[in-house]
Amino acid sequence: MISVSLVINSRPITLKLRLRVVAFVSVLLLVATQVPAVILDNGVDPTHLGKGDWIYILSSATSLYGGSLNSLMAYEKSQGMNFLIVKAGESNVYFPNNGSPPQFTSNLVSAAHAAGLKIFGYTRSYGQDIPGELNIITNILNLGCDGYIVDAESEWETLPNNATAAVQLLQPLKAMYPTRFLAHSPFMYISYHSAFPYLQFGLYCDAVMPQAYWKSFGITPAQCVSDMDIQWSWWQSTLSGTNRNAIKPIYPIAQGWSLATNLVTTGAEIMQFNSACTNDASPASVGGYNGVSYFRCELHSADMWAGIASVNFSRPRPHLDQFQLLAGEQLQINLSGQLGAAYIVESSSNLANWIPVVTNVNSNGTFLLTNPATNSSATFYRLKVGQ
């Protein structure tokens, strides 16, 4: 009997799988459930968010898509959305601040969840009233939403002691909700916004959502993704020690509105952006861009929706398909997963000490490793997603 244990991602989570080899040839199909590194509240996987949409004015979005929360959620789901981000606050006040009741409610959360969607609130943050912003965010989180996005932009660049202010905003949030998803949405071009406290936001957030608005930048979608890779890879390279904990999964926000009649964002451009993200050979985000969101729902044209609906960010779940013991004590293992992804196979005789035996194994989906003779009654193998 050979024991194979499977670990997905680099956390010490092990699924033990067993196979029996008879007369050197045996085939056993095993499908292992993916175990993400960290699963946050309500099943949010910060390493793979999938596809999402931003909603700025909920009443407008609702009127466009059926006239009710349920019809809006059904439409978003039909377009392949995994999550929604809905505006909940503007600085220290609920949104909209026009005498109307707040648009982010428990009914909104319930409607999203009933449709199988994750839902996050967001605040356009100014950082000038930290207690006021904290009050808004905590109250929204208490409605049962799946997380929160801090949309911090130019106001934070000129804010005195902005690094301290960022800690004052984010540290209490993580202390109160340590397993609730938290992200921030900054400018994409770090080199143009060096006064922004990217480090502090990165340290306390679970993900970053840079604003990748190619039409506003006057560049192509492909160039936008390339620039994002350069900017964020460079910034990550400047970090050392514990500051490298600020490196988080990147989920770009794509342009989903037109600037003017002669500057129209097209569905073809959105498809180009999606393709550039999913096929990126050198992404700044570890593990690739496992999700994109689009700003914003009320301004998507039918053509844009066609481009948005075309992408699917559901990734193959890595698992071991087939084991075969060959002559010469070679163990053949077929790996199903994302082609080109870096996987590491480690072996152990005691489940305590692990030795890497194969790396970068999924160039073609199959790998061979030598199973050396040991005094142990079993050899254990585990599969990890490389970093």
The secondary structure of 98-113, three-state, reads CCCCCCCCHHHHHHHH
158 sits in the region (left: phi over 0; alpha: psi -120 to 50; else beta) called alpha
Q: 283, 309, 335 — which closes off a domain?
A: 309
| DSSP E strand boundaries for 195-317 | 207-208, 211-212, 253-255, 291-295
The verdict on 275 and 327 lying in the same domain is no
Instruction: Tell whether the model's pLDDT for residue 319 goes beyond 50.
Output: yes
CA dihedral 41, 45, 50, 51 (to 10 degrees): 20
Per-residue model confidence (pLDDT) at position 35: 36
Answer yes or no: are the C-beta atoms of 276 and 234 closer than 8 Å. no
Residue 321 is part of a domain; what is its CATH number? 2.60.40
pLDDT score, position 3: 36
Give the pLDDT confidence score for residue 352 in this predicted structure: 75
Same domain, 8 and 46: no
Distance CA(287)–CA(280), nearest Å, equals 10
74 & 21 share domain: no
pLDDT of res. 244:
96
**Residues 233 and 160 placed together within one structural domain of the fold:** yes
Inter-residue contact 290 to 278 (CB < 8 Å): no
Mean pLDDT over the full length of the chain = 84
Residues above pLDDT 90, as percent of the chain: 68
Mean pLDDT for 349-373 is 64
Rounded CA gap, 337 and 320, in Å?
Answer: 9
Flag whether pLDDT at 298 surpasses 50: yes
Same domain assignment for residues 341 and 255: no
pTM: 0.77
**What average pLDDT score do residues 184-205 get?**
98
Q: How confident is the model at residue 214 (pLDDT cuts 50, 70, 90)?
A: very high
Query: Residues near 214 by Cβ (< 8 Å), separated by ≥ 6?
Result: 220, 221, 223, 224, 255, 269, 273
Return the structure tokens found at 237. 């390279």
pLDDT of residue 350: 74
360 and 214 both lie in a single domain: no
* pLDDT tens digits for range 44-90: 999 999 999 999 999 999 999 999 999 999 999 999 999 999 999 99
Region of 365 (left: φ > 0; alpha: ψ -120 to 50; beta: rest) is left
Beta pairing, strands 343-348 & 330-336 = unpaired
pLDDT for residue 216: 97
Return d(Cα 309, Cα 8) in angstroms, integer: 29
* Most confidently modeled range among 67-76, 363-372, 374-383: 67-76
Instruction: Give CA–CA dist 121/167, Å, rounded.
Output: 20
Residue 121 has pLDDT above 80, yes or no: yes
**Domain termination residue (choose one: 291, 309, 327):** 309
Range in 108-122, 253-267, 364-378 with the lowest mean pLDDT: 364-378
- Give the chain's domain count: 2
Q: Do 27 and 55 fall within a single domain?
A: no
Host domain of residue 341: 2-34+317-385
Label residue 139 exposed, middle or buried (CB < 10 Å: 0-12, 13-18, 19+). Answer: middle
Residues 128 and 275 in one domain: yes
Contact 386, 344 (CB under 8 A): yes
User: pLDDT: is 285 or 356 the higher one?
Assistant: 285
**Domain boundary, last residue among 247, 280, 309:** 309
Regarding whether 77 and 28 lie in a shared domain, the answer is no
* Whole-number Å distance between alpha carbons of 105 and 273: 33
Shared-domain flag, residues 334 and 300: no
Pairing outcome for strands 50-55 and 15-19: unpaired
Q: Which helix (H) or strand (E) holds 359?
A: strand 355-359
pLDDT in tens, 147-191: 999 999 999 999 999 999 999 999 999 999 999 999 999 999 999
Which residues, in sequence order, are CB contacts of 62 under 8 Å at separation 6+? Answer: 68, 69, 71, 72
Q: Whole-angstrom Cα distance, residue 268 to residue 254? A: 13
331, 373: one domain: yes
Which residue in 183, 258, 195, 186 sits closest to 228, CA to CA? 186
Q: How far apart are the C-alpha atoms of 378 and 384, rounded to whole Å?
A: 20
- Which of 36, 60, 59, 31 is CA-nearest to residue 49? 36
CATH number, domain of 130, equals: 3.20.20.80
Residues 263 and 336 in one domain: no
Kindly report the backbone phi and psi dihedral angles of residue 345, in degrees, each rounded to the nearest multiple of 5, phi listed first: -105, 130
- Tell me the C-alpha distance between 271 and 121, whole Å: 26
